[in-house]
Structure 1
Amino acid sequence: MSLQPPDVSWLRGEYADECYSFIYVRATPEQVVARLGGRWEDFTPGPFLEDPAPRAPVGVTSIGDWTFVSEPDWLGTCEDLITELSKGTRLVSQAALGVKGLDYFYWCEDGEIRFGWGGDDGFLTETPAELVDTMEEIDRLYPSRPRLYEGPAFLLVEHLTGIRTTEHLLKSSTFKWGTIPPTTKP
């Protein structure tokens, strides 16, 4: 295995100061929106938001067999929600509030958290055997242990989903934007 550090410089602007969640679910966008309590027919097309202002809508787009969810809050850290959203499939989420140095990462399989890492607590679970080699490679690439959103989370996403999240990928995708009930937000 030979991971290459991703370019995450595009996250330095608004995304570095504001909160965001990126959630990857192996399901269709329509299924994900329905599981989040939204109505697909109420979501409208648009580009990736460069300014994730608080109370912005939730965005979804297809990337291969996966749905990518962009959300300007802590949705990706709500354990009840992400485990429910992962039932019957795989979910990977990363969330950050760069200005406060807070970030989280979760990997869920069929309703269970397989791996969690976040905040100032570090590992929230033990590292599963499937991630040992990847974590060793991340330690090699990042010996100074930067925040997850400065690269490591994106490498874990790539390993678990096959998706290399880049600025170009997100800005060239057409998203559908809409709201979900506030009861589903943490």
Structure 2
Amino acid sequence: MTSVTTRDYAWIRSSPLFDCALEIGYTLSLVRGVAPREVLRVMEAEPQGSCTGADALIERQDELRDPEDYSDGSFTAGAFTVPGEGGDWTLVLHVGEGGTGMQSRFLEALTDGGCAVVHSSNGGKPMHFFQWYEDGELRTTFEWHTARHGSTPDALNSALCEVGYVLSDDEDGTSEHVDTKAAAFALAERLTGVRVTEELLQGAEYQLGHVPEEPVEEWTGIVIDITDAHGERLYKEFTRAEIEGSQG
């Protein structure tokens, strides 16, 4: 495991690429032992050739996205191989609206017997996420590092502290200023051995795939669960058939 800290990722704050990624959203995923083409296949991506550099990847995303369809959830992902801890890893980058480049079902399939680390931002609001999958299981995930979830939410606590996070009960979760986004990059390197740099992202040859929008699941019913100020609870389940029948 490397001795990387937030200082090693200070470059993100002077990077035009990362400034763009934070503004419009991004997802950066690292998947161990699965080739780029296979990663894109699991993501159900339609092959779109290749390009060199993250700027070209963003341009291709813009070309394939319908500018008038604000609800379009499809995106273009770029993937390439990079050496890391325990062998080769595939780095998958998506920069675009929403930063939703890796669904949980993709990660569960890709880490069956393997490992993946993902960090992302949805842009705008913003909301930032970190996920560590191993053997098809979400081991640790968090939006804010003092509120961790997953099957082993505290397994990374030592690494979190070593890269610069402060695990405390302070209101803001830290006793000093910590660049939590730089810390997320550093934590990802601790787990993967992959050093991400501006030069790496801008010089890589990306294999491209256009990932379709996730299908919307049909709703089957609703649940009303309300507790009033006196502690009285109202809980009621309604099926779709009951609701649609009452409208007839």
Same fold (TM over 0.5): yes
* 2-structure distance, mates of 1:58, 1:32: 10
Distance apart, 1:12 and its partner CA: 4.7
Match of 1:157 among 169, 185, 188: 188
Cα offset, 1:80, TM superposition: 2.7
| Structure whose CA Rg is larger | 2
Rounded to whole Å, the distance in 1 between the matches of 2:128 and 2:179 is 7
Structure 1 residue 184 displacement after superposition: 7.6
Match of 1:32 in 2: 39
* 13, 27, 32: which one aligns with 1:21: 27
Aligned partners of 2:215, 2:36: CA distance in 1, in Å? Answer: 17
Is residue 173 of structure 1 aligned with residue 204 of structure 2? yes
- In the other structure, the counterpart of 2:4 is 3
Whether the aligned pair in 2 keeps the contact of 1:58 and 1:180 (CA below 8 Å) is yes
Q: Tell me, which stretches of 5 or more residues in structure 2 are unaligned? A: 66-74, 167-173, 217-248
- Distance in 2 separating the partners of 1:102 and 1:156: 18
Other structure's SS at 1:43 match: strand
**Match 2:158 to one of 133, 136, 141:** 133
Label 1:177 to 1:87 Cα distance change in 2 as closer, same or farther (>3 A).
same
70, 73, 77: which one aligns with 2:93: 70
- In structure 2, the CA distance between the partners of 1:170 and 1:91, relative to structure 1 (3 Å rule), is same
Kindly provide the CA deviation profile for residues 15-74 of structure 1, in whole angstroms up to 9, marking residues without a partner as x: 12111101111111011011111255x432332137846645211111120111111331
Structure 1 CA distance for aligned equivalents of residues 124 and 178 of structure 2: 14
The unaligned stretches of length 5 or more in structure 1 are none
Partner of 2:214, secondary structure, is helix
Deviation at 1:122, TM superposition (A): 3.2
Q: Which residue of 1 aligns with 2:108?
A: 83
Deviations 1:81-115 (A, max 9, x none): 32222222111111113432310010101210111
Q: Which moved more, 1:24-33 or 1:94-103?
A: 94-103
The residue type paired with residue 116 of structure 1 is T
Change (3 A) 1:112 1:44: same
CA separation in 2, counterparts of 1:124 and 1:109? 14
Q: Percent identity?
A: 23
- 1: CA distance between counterparts of 2:165 and 2:146? 17
Alignment coverage as a number of residue pairs? 179
Amino acid at match of 2:210: T
Report the RMSD for the aligned CA atoms in angstroms: 2.8
TM-score (norm 2): 0.63
| Cα contact 2:30–2:118 (8 A) shared by 1 | yes
